[in-house]
A and B are shown apart, each in its own frame.
Chain A
Amino acid sequence: MLNPDTIKKDFPIFKNIPELIYLDSTATSLKPKIVIDKLREYYETYSANIYRGIYHLSERATEEYEKTREIIVSFIHAKSSEEVIFTRNTSESLNLLCYSLGEEIIKKGDEIATTIMEHHSNFVPWQQLLIKKGGKLAVIKLDKDGGLDVLHLEKYISKKTKILCLTYVSNVLGVANEIKKIIQNAKKINPSIITIVDAAQAVPHRKVDVQDLGCDFLAFSSHKMLGPTGVGVLWGRKTLLDAMPPFLYGGEMISEVHVRNTKFKETPHKFEAGTPAIAEVIALKEAVRYLEKVGLKEIENHEQKLASYAIKRLGDEFKNLHVIGPKNAENKGGIVSFYFKKYHPHDVAQILSEKNICVRAGNHCAMPLHEELNLTATVRASFYLYNTQSDVDALIDGLHDVSRILK
């Protein structure tokens, strides 16, 4: 069994701030020492640009960089390293798709289907593209239990729907959508639909297998999975990537440049213009190794246990507090969002922060979802492998203080 108290010892921030109760891993995760050490290792022992140098340092850096690509390939069960592209974050991965793929295939009158529970980064790019092209965004709503209305996919998807883009795990509700089934059903309605999965909240917390999901593209961020900031991943099927034009032009992504024309490299390099976040990509593999060592199934179970415990105590002890999202979702991650009728989420978060408890307050970059629920903002507590049951207890105590202070 996963022991969060032992795991905490691997994260230097807890040594520096022993009283820290960090319940905002959905925004970004803390970093274990091995990841931080790997960043240092690059800067201190083989700091050089990749691909360009014919000297030893550059070769070492290139090897380390490409090794991360291979690790990601096996981590998400991709077919080859040509399918794994490094970007800056999930948002950039999704924007890359929007600019490169969306711009090419979306014509006037076409449709894209998405869901009401998307993070803005998987919503706004498509919405803006469709405004420009004169197409329609079909938004899959919630059903009466608060999950995605997937029983009525034909209401949202037709032969006109070129792309389905949806989140695996909602960063607000914590629900994991049944991606595999939804994609199967969408392809029954329209076999040529392209499916894009925002896995920013899935890859860090559960085993993700792109072959099993059956999607065409998948995006996630390093910083949410114990890795460094500044790196995102885009996985895509090679045949589709081959057909897509580059997103950014510049160094590293070309094979020949002449005054009148340019030939681009093959994927993944044609999508990686300029010097990337070398140290960060290199260190990302240590995060993946760490996650695999602890075990994603273990992590998932641990988070679910903490979330159930939190939901139970919130329900038992606070009359004027509401937890949002499906009540009995079997497939929920470690995310609990709630609000008090009487207190503004900012005041709640601020009082908690005075007790070293970090939660998020606001709309969590999911304004359409909050509008749908008739809320302006909520408080979100999220759990990861280093959180303990006593972290949840501290949250509950803190919320009792909130009730006492704000009356």
Chain B
Amino acid sequence: MTIYQEVILDHAENPRNTGNIQNPTNTVIVYNPLCGDKIKMDVLIKKDRVIDVRFQGQGCAISKAASSLLTDWVKGKTKEVLKNMTKKDMMKLLKIELGPNRIKCALLPLEALQKLLI
């Protein structure tokens, strides 16, 4: 089965939550030098809750779709919930299966998010 499903392609072509936040609580840049992927992510947190999160980046369709889906999902969630997010949760959001070489693309936005919450 193809991993390029409607949802993935839609999020990759029209990613949600792109751009910057004016006065972010925290900001981070993560890289995957091997494929040249790069994501900058801003977060605005109030009372331990994610109010807004935005990203900018270059990368493959999977990493873009993952960033888009993840940022959609985290809004309104508490830091506590997000800190415990695992690889498995990330893959559930994407609803696809990826091999060991490709999974890094999907996990890059999760790495960004977790660095933001430290």
- A residues near B (Cβ < 8 Å) are 343-347, 350-351, 354, 361-363, 367, 376-377, 405-407
Shortest CB–CB separation between residue B38 and chain A, in angstroms? 9
Asked whether B102 is an interface residue with its Cβ less than 8 Å from the other chain, the reply is: yes
Q: Are A407 and B61 in contact (CB under 8 A)?
A: no
Indicate whether A363 sits within 8 Å of B34 (C-beta atoms), given known contacts A346-B105, A406-B9.
yes
What separation, in Å, do the CA atoms of A346 and B34 have in the docked complex?
11
What separation, in Å, do the CA atoms of A354 and B99 have in the docked complex?
12
What separation, in Å, do the CA atoms of A215 and B34 have in the docked complex?
33
What separation, in Å, do the CA atoms of A361 and B102 have in the docked complex?
11
Q: Are A405 and B105 in contact (CB under 8 A)?
A: no
Contacts of B3 in A (CB 8 A): 350, 354
Indicate whether A346 sits within 8 Å of B102 (C-beta atoms), given known contacts A363-B34, A405-B2.
yes
Q: Are A346 and B62 in contact (CB under 8 A)?
A: yes
Shortest CB–CB separation between residue B7 and chain A, in angstroms? 14
Q: Produce 1/0 per residue, B1-29, CB < 8 A to A.
A: 01110000100010000000000000000
What separation, in Å, do the CA atoms of A361 and B105 have in the docked complex?
13
Asked whether B35 is an interface residue with its Cβ less than 8 Å from the other chain, the reply is: yes
Indicate whether A347 sits within 8 Å of B36 (C-beta atoms), given known contacts A405-B4, A406-B9.
no
What separation, in Å, do the CA atoms of A367 and B36 have in the docked complex?
10
Indicate whether A377 sits within 8 Å of B13 (C-beta atoms), given known contacts A346-B62, A346-B105, A347-B62.
no
Contacts of A376 in B (CB 8 A): 35-36, 58
Shortest CB–CB separation between residue B59 and chain A, in angstroms? 6
Asked whether B60 is an interface residue with its Cβ less than 8 Å from the other chain, the reply is: yes
Which residue, B59, B60, B62, has most C-beta atoms of chain A within 10 A? B60
Indicate whether A344 sits within 8 Å of B61 (C-beta atoms), given known contacts A350-B3, A354-B2.
yes
What separation, in Å, do the CA atoms of A351 and B3 have in the docked complex?
8
Q: Are B35 and A344 in contact (CB under 8 A)?
A: yes
Shortest CB–CB separation between residue A187 and chain B, in angstroms? 37
A402, closest chain B residue (CB):
B4
Q: Are B34 and A351 in contact (CB under 8 A)?
A: no
What class of interface size applies to chain B in its complex with A?
A: 10 to 19
Q: Are B9 and A362 in contact (CB under 8 A)?
A: no
Indicate whether A350 sits within 8 Å of B102 (C-beta atoms), given known contacts A344-B61, A405-B2, A407-B13.
yes
B33, closest chain A residue (CB):
A367
Shortest CB–CB separation between residue B26 and chain A, in angstroms? 26
Q: Are B62 and A351 in contact (CB under 8 A)?
A: no
Q: Are B2 and A351 in contact (CB under 8 A)?
A: yes
26 contacts between A and B (CB under 8 A): A343-B61, A344-B59, A344-B61, A346-B35, A346-B60, A346-B62, A346-B102, A347-B4, A347-B60, A347-B61, A350-B102, A351-B2, A354-B3, A361-B35, A362-B35, A363-B36, A367-B33, A376-B35, A377-B35, A377-B36, A405-B2, A405-B4, A405-B9, A406-B9, A407-B9, A407-B13
Contacts of B62 in A (CB 8 A): 346-347, 350
Give the 9 A-B CB pairs with smallest separation, nearest first. Answer: A376-B36, A344-B60, A346-B60, A347-B61, A347-B60, A377-B36, A405-B4, A377-B35, A354-B2
Shortest CB–CB separation between residue B71 and chain A, in angstroms? 19
Contacts of B33 in A (CB 8 A): 367
Taking a contact as CB atoms closer than 8 A, the residue among B2, B4, B35 that contacts A345 in the complex is B35
What separation, in Å, do the CA atoms of A376 and B102 have in the docked complex?
16
Contacts of A367 in B (CB 8 A): 33
Q: Are B2 and A362 in contact (CB under 8 A)?
A: no
What separation, in Å, do the CA atoms of A351 and B59 have in the docked complex?
16
Contacts of A346 in B (CB 8 A): 35, 60, 62, 102, 105
Shortest CB–CB separation between residue B36 and chain A, in angstroms? 2
What separation, in Å, do the CA atoms of A406 and B2 have in the docked complex?
12
Contacts of B58 in A (CB 8 A): 376
Contacts of A350 in B (CB 8 A): 3-4, 62, 102
Shortest CB–CB separation between residue A375 and chain B, in angstroms? 8
Contacts of A377 in B (CB 8 A): 35-36
Shortest CB–CB separation between residue A11 and chain B, in angstroms? 24
Instruction: Knowing that A343-B61, A354-B2, A377-B36 touch, tell me 11 more A-B residue pairs with CB under 8 angstroms.
Output: A344-B35, A345-B60, A346-B35, A346-B62, A346-B102, A347-B4, A347-B62, A350-B3, A350-B4, A406-B61, A407-B13
